[in-house]
Chains A and B, each alone.
Chain A
């Protein structure tokens, strides 16, 4: 007897995710037995624009427009690549300030993902609670950089603004408030039925499959794969400010939530250490020349590994800018996770990936 299946689409527009991605699930009764994905709805040709429309010193601001959430990680990866090609180094103070904004970005990005997870569990009150608390981080970002999102804070040679002692105090105050809130969330995610039992064992990725599909970011660490670019690079002072890789083992939605909660706590600790131990010195170094040669720079964005390949030819226009975003390389792993799951769980599983289609299609 032939197998009877039906095809059910999820997206391109779906309430579980406000970004355009379409999964086509082949289902046998309620079980997903096949997955096809389409991620290319918002391709904008950023890579081409970076080599044909903009000079190398403007590209850092162009790539920041790839994503509203992790704009600063794109700025950083490109800028460090350009600095490598120019043979330049930034001051310790600039490296610390860059790291401060990067970790604040991780905190609010993870909070957004956790809030969507609550929304998918039907826990609307918790969704609104986390989104409201997230404003504490957005406020700090605005005070430091001048913008809530899309902050053009990082530039070739350093950063564009310093922080005052008064602002440092405000950052510490807000972080203390966020830390208290995160402890409350953790209690809910561990003990509330809607957020713990409902998600345990659902949407799991095994360690073996994490290796096989080159999983990255919280998806990999939740499955027990010890990988975090912050542990595999030397251009930011993560070893000095208390970075600790956060791990789980079960690889399910619950484990991904717990990794993100633990990472928020670690990021708060790192931000505090940066503000309290900020080195003296200039925030920007004047750099001359034009990029020559090729380089690869990786950074751990909130969703996982971001990679920039940049090739310069000694002129103001670059030969190639290749952007590998975290969600893009995770799509094969996402598809694997869906197999064997109940269709009813698909929106929650998708939200737990924290996908960014704006980054993916670039």
Chain B
């Protein structure tokens, strides 16, 4: 897999420039809790009809920022954005808590759960 680092300010613009819906398939949004109190947020894509070609755009951010939404570019991203909010307690533009957890839950099950 090919990893491309971006920044909170540029990620939306870069994905908009990269994503061609006839060539690239959006897999999901992923979060990886880093040991330094930061979260790595990944946007994962695979290329249609091409073996083993996966591209990951990622940013490293603290938990108190808001991640920009890409749901207007890729509508199917909306559900994984909501999952990220539930699991890591990070804000994603336009996404509310309550996909898996209760809407008023204080839990963030995957935030900093490394051993």
The answer to whether A212 and B21 touch (CB under 8 A), given A295-B1, A332-B78, is yes
Contacts of B42 in A (CB 8 A): 309
The number of chain B residues with a CB under 8 A from chain A is 40
- Given A40-B101, A48-B113, A232-B49, does the pair A214, B79 have CB atoms closer than 8 Å? no
| Cβ of B105 to closest chain A Cβ, rounded Å | 11
Closest to B82 in A: A40
Nearest residue (CB) in A for B23 is A211
Q: Which residues of the partner chain A approach B110 to less than 8 Å between Cβ atoms?
A: 47-48
B79 touches A328 (CB 8 A): yes
Q: Is the CB of A234 within 8 A of B51?
A: yes
Known A-B contacts A317-B115, A320-B32, A329-B76; the reply to A214 vs B26 at CB < 8 A is: yes
Given A43-B100, A51-B114, A324-B28, also A213-B76 (CB < 8 A): yes
Q: Check A39 for interface membership: any CB of B closer than 8 A.
A: yes
Alpha-carbon distance A40/B52, docked complex (angstroms): 31
Identify which of B21, B28, B30 gathers the most chain A CB atoms within 10 Å of its CB.
B28
Q: Cα distance A333–B77 when bound, in Å? A: 11
Complex Cα spacing A214 to B44, Å? 12
A232 and B100 within 8 A (CB): no
Within 8 A of B (CB), among A148-188: none
| Total residue contacts A-B, CB cutoff 8 A | 100
Chain A residue at smallest Cβ distance from B48: A227
In angstroms, Cα B59 to Cα A176, docked, is 52
Question: Considering the chains assembled together, what is the distance between the CA atoms of A311 and B110 in angstroms?
Answer: 14
* B50 in contact (CB, < 8 A): yes
- Decide if B109 touches A45 in the complex (CB within 8 Å): yes
Task: State in angstroms the CA–CA spacing of A211 and B22 once bound together.
Answer: 7
List of A residues within 8 angstroms of B100 by Cβ: 40, 43, 361
* B positions within 8 Å CB-CB of A: 1, 21-22, 25-28, 30-33, 42, 44, 46-54, 56, 74-76, 78-80, 83, 87, 98-101, 109-110, 113-115
Residues of A within 8 A of B (CB): 39-40, 43, 45, 47-48, 51-52, 211-214, 216, 226-227, 231-234, 295-296, 298, 305, 307, 309, 311, 313, 315, 317, 319-320, 322, 324, 328-329, 331-333, 336, 361
The 23 sampled A-B contact pairs (Cβ below 8 Å) are A47-B110, A211-B22, A212-B21, A213-B75, A214-B76, A226-B49, A227-B48, A231-B51, A232-B46, A232-B48, A234-B52, A296-B44, A298-B46, A307-B27, A319-B32, A320-B32, A320-B33, A322-B28, A322-B30, A328-B79, A329-B27, A329-B76, A336-B75
